[in-house]
Amino acid sequence: MSKRNPRNLLIILGDQLDHESPIFENADPKRDIAWMAEVAEETEHVWCHQLRVAFFFSAMRHFAEELRAAGWEVRYRELPEDAGKDNYPSFEKLLTADLQELKPDGVRVVQPGDLRVEKQLLAACDSAKCGLSIMEDAHFYCGIEEFATFAEGRKELVMETFYRQMRRKHKVLMQGSKPAGGEWNFDKENRETFGKKGPSSLPAMPVYEPDAISNKVLKLVAKRFAKHPGSLEHFVLPVTRAHALEFLEDFLTHRLPLFGKYEDAMWGGEAFLYHSRISALLNVKLLNPRECVEMAVARYEEGRAPINSVEGFVRQILGWREFIRGVYWLKMPGYLELNALDAQGDVPDFFWDGKTDMACARDSMRHVIDHGYSHHIQRLMVLGQYAMLSGVHPRKFHEWHMAMYLDAVDWVSLPNTLGMSQYGDGGIVGTKPYCASGKYIQRMGNFCAGCKFDPGIAIGENACPFTALYWDFLDRHREKFTGNMRMGFQIKNLERKSDEELAEIRETAGRWRAK
């Protein structure tokens, strides 16, 4: 362990694994020390999926090794096998102790993606009387201040307006002042289904078998986190920069061309379809959004991928991802407390173990348990929608999402779950709740054919829970949604239902809400 007093201690958090990070600007391996830590509380303040813990720890340990190979001294705090939140120091205490021992002249960190972590950093530096410099996160296209300027004076924050501004500013998919392909947004061409036959010959996902570092982490997680949800069986994601780039290339070549067409489609047993699955790699910064966007746009320009795919992909990264981060920093800390629909329920048991008779939810949960992943429609319109319709507290849904998805980091999870998925923010990130009856799920995939429920029925034993809960949800919030133009069609349909029918729907839905 180092005895010298470094000029700067460079704090590298688990979601900051970027060799090009601004933290290394003007840093000197001879005078500065990098500091990384695995902490029990990060895995236990929410009840973390085993694969999520393993992915973060393995990627962190690989990154630390790469830094050492590049000549850096790294003080890396590995979590001991027998450590728990009661017998192992918190992040703040670990850092305070190391600051007191190492006595650096200063501490540097790139803007953490979680306000809670930022507070702990400030407290540790305060206790150890060390100056903390928080650097802007250059990983993102849009800075926190820049987003605040965009938001200033606007009644509503509309993603599409922000997205177009980003496209113009960064000259992405632009032909002069006009959008490439003649439209800004090809969302309408992102909604095809696989029909009755289903997808044919889906490209296989690349698989990365665990190396010695990963195997050590897997052993730790299997022992230390044995009671946590999820499984370690499918530890096949890349955990290094080199493999992350390979993984991205594989998507661009084999799945991007059909990604746009089938972006919203679902199919039983198929977790990935044509999705990139790069969100976890982006969110720990093994991939950079600029390279993802530039490489995808190049495929369009070379005629190797159609505009509906490339624009859809760019919209997710340059539009939605940046917008969501802007909203997080603009609205926090108050955003966490929002609960526009006054939902007070707990996350249902099947969100942890996948045990349910609902075929669509069972399949979605299978992917979450196996891979810490489900693609965005299974996330939004199956699991997310079930939580919203049944009245789960939006913060509890966010905490569940943080626990179970590999790609969940506070800044990205909170506005996506509490806001977009649960409408807990009352319309800050989405102008209406994402809700539909079981008929939507039937149309977009093949689950209903093998399900004991009927998506066309809202009352009784055979009623599809989504359909019953959908009408019950609209009815419970009728007053609130009546003024929302975008809900007009749904409310009109609700008004066609008689009082008797609604009473029976309420009873059916009530049985599901009580579960």
CB nearer to ligand SF4: pick between 293 and 468: 468
- Residue 386 Cβ vs ligand SF4, minimum distance, rounded to whole Å: 9
CB nearer to ligand SF4: pick between 307 and 365: 365
- Residue 351 Cβ vs ligand SF4, minimum distance, rounded to whole Å: 15
- Residue 442 Cβ vs ligand SF4, minimum distance, rounded to whole Å: 5
Closest CA to 251 of 194, 313, 186: 313
CB nearer to ligand SF4: pick between 276 and 437: 437
- Residue 193 Cβ vs ligand SF4, minimum distance, rounded to whole Å: 14
- Residue 352 Cβ vs ligand SF4, minimum distance, rounded to whole Å: 18
Burial class (CB in 10 A: 0-12, 13-18, 19+), 295: middle
CA dihedral 352, 354, 358, 363 (to 10 degrees): 120
Q: What is the DSSP letter of 450?
A: G
Closest CA to 161 of 184, 177, 143: 184
CB nearer to ligand SF4: pick between 36 and 464: 464
**What is the sign, positive or negative, of the torsion defined by CA atoms of 420, 423, 424, 425?**
positive
CB nearer to ligand SF4: pick between 273 and 451: 451
CB contact burial 419-444 (16+ within 10 A = b; e otherwise): bbbbbbbeebbbeebbbbbbebbbeb
- Residue 455 Cβ vs ligand SF4, minimum distance, rounded to whole Å: 4
CA dihedral 464, 469, 474, 476 (to 10 degrees): 150
Q: What is the DSSP letter of 113?
A: S
Q: Give the separation between CA 53 and CA 43, rounded to whole angstroms.
A: 7
Per-residue contact string for residues 398-437; x = within reach of ligand SF4 by CB under 6 A: ----------------------------------------
- Residue 98 Cβ vs ligand SF4, minimum distance, rounded to whole Å: 50
How many residues touch ligand SF4 (CB under 6 A)? 14
CB nearer to ligand SF4: pick between 2 and 462: 462
Per-residue contact string for residues 435-474; x = within reach of ligand SF4 by CB under 6 A: ---x--xx----xx--x-x-x--------xxx--------
Residues 257-316 interacting with ligand SF4 (rule: CB under 6 A)? none
CB contact burial 133-171 (16+ within 10 A = b; e otherwise): eeeebbbbbbbeebbeebeeeeeebebeebbeebbeebe
- Residue 452 Cβ vs ligand SF4, minimum distance, rounded to whole Å: 7
Q: Give the separation between CA 470 and CA 145, rounded to whole angstroms.
A: 39
Closest CA to 283 of 39, 24, 56: 56
Reduce the DSSP state of residue 420 to 3 states and report it: helix
CB nearer to ligand SF4: pick between 29 and 456: 456
Amino acid making up residue 281: L
- Residue 196 Cβ vs ligand SF4, minimum distance, rounded to whole Å: 15
Residues 331-370 interacting with ligand SF4 (rule: CB under 6 A)? 358-360
- Residue 197 Cβ vs ligand SF4, minimum distance, rounded to whole Å: 19
CB nearer to ligand SF4: pick between 238 and 438: 438
Strands 74-77 and 33-37: parallel
Burial class (CB in 10 A: 0-12, 13-18, 19+), 175: exposed
Tell me phi and psi for residue 188, to 5 degrees.
-65, -20
CB nearer to ligand SF4: pick between 216 and 439: 439
- Chain residues binding ligand SF4 by CB under 6 A are 358-360, 438, 441-442, 447-448, 451, 453, 455, 464-466
